[in-house]
Amino acid sequence: MIRLKNEKQINGIRTSCKLLSAMYRELMPLVKPGVQTLDLDRWVRDWIKKAGGRPAFLGYGPRKNPYPAAICISINNEVIHGIPGKRKILEGDLVSLDCGIDLGGFISDQAVTVEAGRVAPELHALNMATRECLYQGIAAVKAGDRLLQIARAVSARAKLGNYGVVHQFCGHGVGLELHEDPQVPNYPHGPNPRMSRGMVIAIEPMVNLGTADVEILQDGWTVVTADDRPSAHWEHTVAIFEDRAEILTDPLE
Ligand code: MF3
Ligand code: CO
């Protein structure tokens, strides 16, 4: 069931989104060679707490294996849901950050991919292409049109660079819970409802340098590429109005 949001709810979600983007603006410069990912998670927890929010990812998921951190940090061949730990970021790493905030019951969701120091040209190209996939997807958002238009736009951009678009994971409705209906694929498949006023969705292309196929590690969370080649991930929370779409999170470029 798709929960449509009223103006008051969208205002609350927007405030949560602006807070999340403000956090990222301080966090992104901290993502550099030598930093332990666990330290970034601690920083994020403190920041969100001080701001009066709650990390939306912490404790999310199955009761027997809830997500144990405030932020997902996925490096190189890790696509999404990388768990912060002792690992240190190295020069040339492609570091995907994904985080959400619950602010008074309103949930935001945003992901960016940061280049640690100087990265190989093909990694930089992958990163920029993935961000373009996101914006092409957002440009396809229109009340009255079908949702899979987003997937077609994302996939068309990815195809230009011969990249693999992950289809085992997708975007989603968001705002009152972290994952709501509808699913928002990056590759056209599955249900294809009409987009409508009051929908709030997270659009989040995951794009691989090689194969689109992914696997989940033994920790039950970390998603990696099947061929171990690098991946990038960008995400915005987007609200749909009668005559326009609004990106509720801020560009972080
Ligand atoms: N940010 C992810 C998404 O965009 C959700 C992360 S799952 C969690 O859908 F367990 F880490 F929260
Ligand atoms: Co998301």
In a domain, 171, yes or no: yes
In a domain, 213, yes or no: yes
Neighbours of 243 (CB within 10 A): 8
In a domain, 252, yes or no: no
Distance CA 52, CA 69 (A): 17
Both structure tokens of 158: 């990815």
**Neighbouring residues of 206: CB distance < 8 A, sequence distance ≥ 6:** 79, 80, 130, 165, 166, 169, 186, 231, 232, 233
Both structure tokens of 161: 């660079």
Residue 243's pLDDT is 97
Distance CA 44, CA 35 (A): 14
In a domain, 139, yes or no: yes
Tokens 């590429």, residue located: 225
In this structure, are residues 167 and 155 in contact, taking their beta carbons and an 8 Å threshold? no
User: Is the Cβ atom of 57 under 6 angstroms away from ligand 1?
Assistant: yes
Residue 92's pLDDT is 98
Distance CA 157, CA 176 (A): 31
Residue 253's pLDDT is 83
The Å distance, Cα 244 to ligand 2 centre, comes to: 21
In a domain, 89, yes or no: yes
User: Is the Cβ atom of 93 under 6 angstroms away from ligand 1?
Assistant: no
Distance CA 199, CA 234 (A): 20
CB-count burial class (<10 Å; 0-12, 13-18, 19+) for 121: exposed
Question: pLDDT tens, position by position, for the chain (253 residues)?
Answer: 999 999 999 999 999 999 999 999 999 999 999 999 999 999 999 999 999 999 999 999 999 999 999 999 999 999 999 999 999 999 999 999 999 999 999 999 999 999 999 999 999 999 999 999 999 999 999 999 999 999 999 999 999 999 999 999 999 999 999 999 999 999 999 999 999 999 999 999 999 999 999 999 999 999 999 999 999 999 999 999 999 999 999 999 8
- To test the ligand 1 pocket, which listed residue (48, 63, 67) has its Cβ within 8 A of the most ligand atoms? 67
Nearest by Cα to 230 from 81, 126, 100, 87: 126
- Give the domain CATH number at 151: 3.90.230.10
| Residue 74: φ, ψ to 5° | -120, 115
In a domain, 1, yes or no: no
pTM higher than 0.85 for the full model?
yes
In a domain, 253, yes or no: no
Residue 193's pLDDT is 98
How many domains does the structure of the chain reveal? 1
The Å distance, Cα 171 to ligand 2 centre, comes to: 5
Nearest ligand 1 atom, CA 172: 9
The Å distance, Cα 57 to ligand 1 centre, comes to: 6
Q: Which domain holds residue 187?
A: 7-247
Both structure tokens of 38: 């666990």
Residue 200's pLDDT is 99
Q: Crossing angle of helices 37-50/7-27, nearest 10°? A: 140
In a domain, 128, yes or no: yes
The Å distance, Cα 171 to ligand 1 centre, comes to: 10
Atom 5 (ligand 1): residue with closest C-alpha? 57
In this structure, are residues 182 and 217 in contact, taking their beta carbons and an 8 Å threshold? no
